[in-house]
Amino acid sequence: MSKEEHQQAPPPAPSAPGIFDPARLYHVAICVHSVAETAHFYEEKFGIGPFWFRDVDYPTATFHGEVAGYRGRRGFAQLGPLLLELVEPVAGRTIHEPFLKEKGEGLHHLGFEVDNLSEAIAEAEQRGFRMTQTFRRPDGSGFAYFDSDTIGGTVFEIVEKPRQKG
């Protein structure tokens, strides 16, 4: 990239950022073979942490439109204003396993918070994205991944966080 290209003004932002609003980006996820080993390395070498861990089980998650379910391990650490998520697939069909096999460990997705998952999925599909994996909780919250990695190599995820029980 030439110096002139690098100094050009960015294109104008869309009038409404919609579901992929940069202000609602809240996590960055890295697919890894071992959450424990990666977290230890990041803590020791980079001072990132402390990490907290959890096993996840999404028995009704879809994989390319079909119920497939999967289990995995997650490691989380606060990274400034963002949450760093380490993703380790354990069992079942998930978009994370082929990523690891084809590309190896690395940046997998950016997670954006949305207020209404159903409306956000509809908006993403209107923009031409295909949903590759999704999971919904009984309260309607959940997450969905899209095929945004066809250019740029990074998956975008939308997340409606669980509703607070009142």
For the whole model, what pTM was predicted?
A: 0.86
Concatenated DSSP letters of 9-69:
PPPPPPSS-GGG-GGGEEEEEEE-S-HHHHHHHHHHHH-----EEEEEEETT-EETTEE--
Q: pLDDT-based confidence at 79, cuts 50/70/90?
A: very high
Contact indicator for 123, 18 with CB cutoff of 8 Å: yes
Summarize pLDDT for 16-34 with one digit per residue, the tens: 567 888 999 999 999 999 9
State the Cα–Cα distance between residues 25 and 40, nearest whole angstrom. 25
Residue extents of the structural domains in the chain: 25-160
- Residue 163 is classified by DSSP as P
Summarize pLDDT for 33-46 with one digit per residue, the tens: 999 999 999 999 99
**pLDDT of res. 40:** 98
* CATH superfamily label, 25-160: 2,3-Dihydroxybiphenyl 1,2-Dioxygenase, domain 1 (3.10.180.10)
∠ CA 81-125-16 to the nearest 5 degrees? 50
Q: Give CA 115 to chain center in angstroms.
A: 16
Summarize pLDDT for 93-141 with one digit per residue, the tens: 999 999 999 999 999 999 999 999 999 999 999 989 999 999 998 888 8
**Which one-letter amino acid corresponds to residue 140?**
G
